[in-house]
Every structure is written in structure tokens, then in C-alpha cells.
Amino acid sequence: MTAVALAWRRAPVSLVAGVVILAALAVCALAPGLIAPYDPLAFDYGALLQPPSAPHPFGTDQFGRDILSRTIAAATVDLQIAIFATLGPLVIGAIVGLLVGYYGGLADAVFGRLVDLVVTFPFLVLVIAIVAVLGPGLSNMYIAIGVVGWVFYARLMRAEVMVLRGQDYVSAAKVLGYPERRILLRHILPNAARPILVYWMTDMALAILLGSSLGYLGLGAQPPTAEWGVLIADGKNFFSQAWWITVFPGAAIVLCGMGFSLFGDGLADLMDVRR
């Protein structure tokens, strides 16, 4: 208990803010039914395109669906995108970067060319191309982002590991005759993890934007599923009369991105051992 209290007091402000925002979004994502005042998919022809008001704080869309409820319900899909689209690249990138950075040699040369190949194409264009081949939908979108995204994690990890492998404490571990697996996992990985974890947080925010972009293009989540990008796309035709359909899901994306960024910043501070 005291340990938790102490950790909380030492935690950077940005970490606390990030945790609060993400926790609120997580509650929305896990139990949208408890918070949302209406069914996000229910039509109400008596209340079409209503501006924000007491019964509908975020207004309603062209079918009378409550925007607040739809924005809350969309958190489920969007947080899922944030996690599923980035977890694979994180793990694969970390492993590849660790091995390539430590051993170098031919594997490193091959990896370098692979990075060049991927970086040559604009990220979004490559993902759109892959989704177009595999077919629209969330799971194909995860695959598409994963195929391209791990390269960025691996590159980051490789650079960090290449610096660390020359450190004296790694030399000391070698002189002490420690097995390579132990050197990699206990002496290099924990010290190389900070940049990649911070990037992961930013990448989750980017994944939501990407998911929303693909949703907007009709390649990600399919209507009538509530997803922030889809909601914005829905609202674009009514933007001059009903700005609230677009603005509130947009604000949710901004808030979520901020939550991840703040959490990432705080995490970076917390992981700095020389603080």
C-alpha cells in the first residue's frame, strides 16, 4: 500500500494525466453499455440531426442515432485497433532489432536493405495496397499494418542495441562468462527498451488515426459499426448543418492520442534510472 502511494507520488505529472485519460477510455471501451445513454445503433426518426442538447449532449445524426453513445461505443473498436495493430510489430520488431543489433553481420545487411525497401514506399499507401489485396475489414488491416510496421520498431531497437553492446557492463557480463541469452535479455533488453516503448505509445495513437483514415476510406471498420473514423466520414456530408457529428468523434481521437502521448512521456521519465 505504501509502495503504491510512494510510486504514485513519484510518478511524473504526464504519466498521471495519461493514465487518467486512458483509464476513462478503457472504461468506455470495456463497458460502453453502462455509460452510453442510448443504443449506438438505434434509429430515432423523431430526433434527426438534433444539435447538442440536454437529452443528446453531443447531438444526433441523420438517422437520429445519439452521437455521445456512438462515440463511446467506438472506443471499443478504436482501442482494439490501437493495441492489435501495434502489439505484433512491437514484439517482432523488438526481437529482430535485438538480434540484428547484437550479432550484426549478414543478417544486419539483409535487414538494412529490407528497411530501405519498406521506407521507400509511403506507409499509408503500402497499407492501403495490402488491405486492398486482402480485402477490407479490421483483421486484414491489422495484418497490413503489422507487415509494414515492425520494421520501424526493429530499426529503433537495432540502433539502441548497437550502442549498448559496446558498453563496459556488457563486456563485464561476457568476461563473467554469462550465456548470450542472459546477456541479451537481462543486460541489453531492459536498457534498450525505453525508446521502443515510448514509440509504441505514439504508434498506438497513430494506429487509431490510421484506423480512422482507413475507416473513412471504407477499408477498415465497416458501417454500421461505430468507429471514430467511420463516424467522421458519416458526418462529412452534413458538416455545414450538423458539425457535431464530425467534431465530437474527432475530439475523441485527439483525446485518445493525447492520452497515449502523455503516458509515453511519463513512461520515459519513469524508466530513466538516473532520475
Taking contact as CB under 8 A, which single stretch among the options 10-18, 36-44, 173-181, 241-249 is the one that binds other proteins? 173-181
How far apart CA 247 and CA 259 sit, in angstroms, is 18
How far apart CA 139 and CA 150 sit, in angstroms, is 17
In the complex, least distance from residue 168 CB atom to other proteins, rounded to whole angstroms: 4
Site membership for other proteins, residue 103 (CB under 8 A): no
Binding string, residues 128-167; x marks residues near other proteins by CB under 8 A: ---------------------------------------x
In the complex, least distance from residue 195 CB atom to other proteins, rounded to whole angstroms: 15
**245 alpha-carbon distance from chain centroid:** 24
Site membership for other proteins, residue 173 (CB under 8 A): yes
Among 9, 113, 181, 274, binds other proteins (CB under 8 A): 274
Site membership for other proteins, residue 105 (CB under 8 A): no
Q: Counting beta carbons within 10 angstroms of the beta carbon of residue 5, is it exposed (0 to 12), middle (13 to 18) or buried (19 or more)?
A: exposed
In the complex, least distance from residue 177 CB atom to other proteins, rounded to whole angstroms: 3
Site membership for other proteins, residue 53 (CB under 8 A): no
Site membership for other proteins, residue 10 (CB under 8 A): no
109-127 burial string, b = 16+ CB within 10 Å, else e?
eebeeebeebeeeebeebb
DSSP assignment letter at 177? T
Tell me the Cα Rg of the chain: 22
Nearer of residues 11 and 194 to other proteins, judged by Cβ: 194
Nearer of residues 155 and 165 to other proteins, judged by Cβ: 165
Sheet strands (E) in the chain: none
CB 269 within 8 A of CB 15: yes
Site membership for other proteins, residue 3 (CB under 8 A): no
Among 57, 174, 239, 255, binds other proteins (CB under 8 A): 174
